[in-house]
Chain A
Amino acid sequence: MPPKQTKGEYIETDTGNKVSRKSVILGSQNIILGGKTIIQADCTIRGDLRRTVAPGQQSGNVAIAVGRYCFLSRSSVLRPPGKIARGIYSYYPMKIGDHVFVGEGSVVEAALIGSYVHISKDCVIGKFTIIKDCVRIEEGTVIAPNSVIPSFSVVSGRPGVVVAELPETAVEGLERA
């Protein structure tokens, strides 16, 4: 992070991302923020858990890619998921779309999150979960690992199940300035 002397709570990057000084960002060289994304205090992003490859092979450097206009609340955790494949344990990159909201204290270990996804407070999104576009995850939901959540669903409970559908106009409600 560039050493700026202005003492505000947030550091603003060239693309308009606002990152709290009190957030915990590890392996920032492996993290891509699309722009206009806000990261609040105490938010943890584990960019250091990147793909492990056999020596000599070229490794993709992105561990976490976040789209535009995302909001990561206080104490949320973004952590790439890991598993064994071809005989080695490796972490896999996590992709997050645009206009994604992650509530306070939520732990996200998803493989893919689409655009216009609202994750409420204290949720746990299991490893390798795929969440499609325009989904609402209610407060305190625990989504089992390897789940796939279809578009326009409302997910709630432990384990998280689809309890309702969102109207097609929901995109406007999930879009924030």
Chain B
Amino acid sequence: MPPKRAPAPEIKPPVDFSPSLVLADSATLTGTHRIRIGANTVVHPRCKLNSTLGPITIGRSCIISERTQLVAPDAQGLAIGDGVVVEVNALVEAREVGEGSTVEVGHCKLAPLTRVADGEVLEDYTVLYGAGERRIDKSGQEGARRKLLEMHVESLRVLIPSNASKWMS
């Protein structure tokens, strides 16, 4: 626990934002590499994006919740696909998170508090839960999930004031 609230980062990373992005005021972006965020993505307050070691690319219609940390692991950077939901308290240091994934605390779902080892590759439609158990879920709910996500983004757009201009210099 830091004794003081961290001071505002002096060096702002170069950013590439879509105009329809919702980036909360208290989200923090640090690092020196480029951070790209696609259209209709919502970044909740107090989310931390760190591009010190590589670029971060976030796709369209993503929801990045509060207290999550997205950290680029190396120079290849971190790529998050379209329609990804990252839930509260998650730490993402992956190289790639596929389209439509849900990280709860490519069509993968990680239940809360589960861990994926370094360098591991998860197949499409994998569900990871409990103490490392996993299964393949091909129930074909992508359409419904996508619709829910789009409605979720719409409602958050109303609720969260965006201040993306703070990071554009």
Interface residues of chain A, those whose CB is within 8 Å of chain B, are 22, 24, 26, 41-42, 44, 46, 48-50, 52, 74, 77, 79, 82, 84, 88-91, 105, 107, 122, 124, 126, 140, 142, 158-159
Could you jot down 10 A-B contacts, CB within 8 Å? A26-B45, A52-B158, A77-B89, A84-B148, A89-B148, A89-B151, A89-B152, A107-B112, A158-B130, A158-B131
What residues of A have a CB within 8 angstroms of the CB of B151 in the complex?
Answer: 84, 88-89
B160 interfacial by beta-carbon distance below 8 Å: yes
B75 interfacial by beta-carbon distance below 8 Å: no
Q: Which of B39-65 contact A (CB under 8 A)?
A: 45-46
Question: Please, how many angstroms separate the alpha-carbon atoms of A90 and B159 in the complex?
Answer: 10
B137 interfacial by beta-carbon distance below 8 Å: no
Quick check: B46 and A158 within 8 Å, CB to CB? no
Q: Which of B1-46 contact A (CB under 8 A)?
A: 1, 5, 26, 45-46
What residues of B have a CB within 8 angstroms of the CB of A126 in the complex?
Answer: 112
Quick check: A140 and B113 within 8 Å, CB to CB? yes
Question: Please, how many angstroms separate the alpha-carbon atoms of A126 and B130 in the complex?
Answer: 14
Known: A79-B66, A88-B155. 6 other contacts (CB 8 A): A24-B26, A26-B45, A44-B67, A50-B159, A89-B154, A126-B112
Q: At the interface, is chain B mostly helix, strand, loop or mixed?
A: loop
Min Cβ gap B20→A in Å is 17
A-B pairs with beta carbons under 8 A, tally: 62
Partner of B159, one of A24, A52, A88: A52
Partner of A122, one of B5, B45, B113, B158: B113
B88 interfacial by beta-carbon distance below 8 Å: yes
Quick check: B1 and A74 within 8 Å, CB to CB? yes
Question: Please, how many angstroms separate the alpha-carbon atoms of A48 and B111 in the complex?
Answer: 25
Quick check: B130 and A159 within 8 Å, CB to CB? yes
What residues of B have a CB within 8 angstroms of the CB of A44 in the complex?
Answer: 46, 66-67
What residues of B have a CB within 8 angstroms of the CB of A124 in the complex?
Answer: 105, 112-113
What residues of A have a CB within 8 angstroms of the CB of B66 in the complex?
Answer: 24, 44, 46, 77, 79
Quick check: B89 and A24 within 8 Å, CB to CB? no
Min Cβ gap A68→B in Å is 26
Closest 9 CB pairs of A and B: A89-B151, A124-B112, A89-B155, A52-B155, A89-B152, A158-B130, A107-B88, A142-B112, A77-B88
Quick check: B152 and A24 within 8 Å, CB to CB? no
Smallest Cβ-Cβ distance to B133: which chain A residue: A158
Question: Please, how many angstroms separate the alpha-carbon atoms of A126 and B1 in the complex?
Answer: 26
Quick check: A82 and B105 within 8 Å, CB to CB? no
Smallest Cβ-Cβ distance to B151: which chain A residue: A89
What residues of B have a CB within 8 angstroms of the CB of A90 in the complex?
Answer: 155
Min Cβ gap B78→A in Å is 23
Min Cβ gap B5→A in Å is 7
Question: Please, how many angstroms separate the alpha-carbon atoms of A22 and B4 in the complex?
Answer: 9
What residues of B have a CB within 8 angstroms of the CB of A89 in the complex?
Answer: 148, 151-152, 154-155
